[in-house]
């Protein structure tokens, strides 16, 4: 899929909120929006990897975009959702879930509506910002979805996606059992 879904000179972007910041992704990269559902934690995974969900029989890695963008963590709420994205990884399509605070609206933007990203003073990596759109008194950052996640991050997500949900749960249960076993000798030494 292309990085922009263009109809004539207008492109559609799905806007979403992370904390006080607004972002938008090309609708051509958005496969669907899911209500927040139980997420199975993946043992020994990086902090940005929230876990996996079962999406119609397939493992979907779910990444916490707050952590990825350096935004402080917050509790999930009724508006928290998962935006399922189609990301290009070395010419192959990888589906992953991006956890967002809320989905706002679809923006129809022409090239003249989008300003170039700032070269200085932005707290976000300019490599994955396509541009910015002024909306009332704030800005919405238009993302280059294929550039947001590094090759290493995508490789980990792909590795997780290739597992079965039952394997992930079994790994988590083993890790919990190992933790309990490790605690018991320490507790016995205290006695």
Give the CATH number, domain containing residue 55: 2.40.50.180
| Residue 10 belongs to a domain | yes
| Residue 52 belongs to a domain | yes
Phi-psi region of 158 (alpha: psi -120 to 50; beta: other; left: phi over 0): alpha
pLDDT for the residue 186: 52
Q: What is the pTM of this model?
A: 0.78
- Residue 103 burial (CB count, 10 A): 17
Q: Which domain holds residue 45?
A: 6-190
**Total number of domains in the chain:** 1
| Residue 1 belongs to a domain | no
Question: For residue 168, which phi and psi values (nearest 5 degrees)?
Answer: -65, -45
Share the mean pLDDT of the chain: 83
Instruction: Compute the CA torsion angle 128, 130, 132, 135 (nearest 10 deg).
Output: -100
pLDDT for the residue 137: 83
| Residue 57 belongs to a domain | yes
**Better-predicted residue by pLDDT, 48 or 27:** 27
pLDDT for the residue 1: 41
| Residue 153 belongs to a domain | yes
């Amino acid at each position: 899929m292309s990085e922009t879904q263009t109809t004539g000179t207008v492109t559609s972007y799905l806007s979403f909120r992370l904390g006080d910041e607004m972002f938008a992704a090309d609708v051509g990269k958005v496969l669907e929006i899911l209500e927040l559902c139980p997420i199975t934690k993946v043992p020994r995974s990086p902090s940005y990897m929230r876990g996996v969900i079962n999406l119609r029989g397939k493992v979907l890695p779910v990444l916490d975009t707050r952590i990825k963008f350096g935004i402080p963590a917050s509790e999930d709420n009724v508006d928290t959702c998962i935006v399922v994205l189609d990301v290009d990884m070395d010419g192959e399509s990888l589906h992953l879930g991006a956890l967002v605070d809320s989905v706002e609206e679809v923006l129809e933007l022409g090239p003249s509506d989008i300003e170039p990203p700032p070269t200085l003073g932005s707290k976000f990596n300019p490599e994955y910002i396509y541009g910015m759109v002024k909306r009332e008194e704030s800005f919405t950052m238009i993302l280059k979805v294929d550039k947001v996640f590094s090759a290493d991050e995508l490789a980990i997500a792909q590795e997780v996606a290739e597992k079965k949900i039952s394997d992930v749960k079994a790994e988590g249960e083993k890790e919990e059992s190992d933790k309990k076993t490790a605690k018991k000798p320490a507790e016995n030494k205290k006695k």
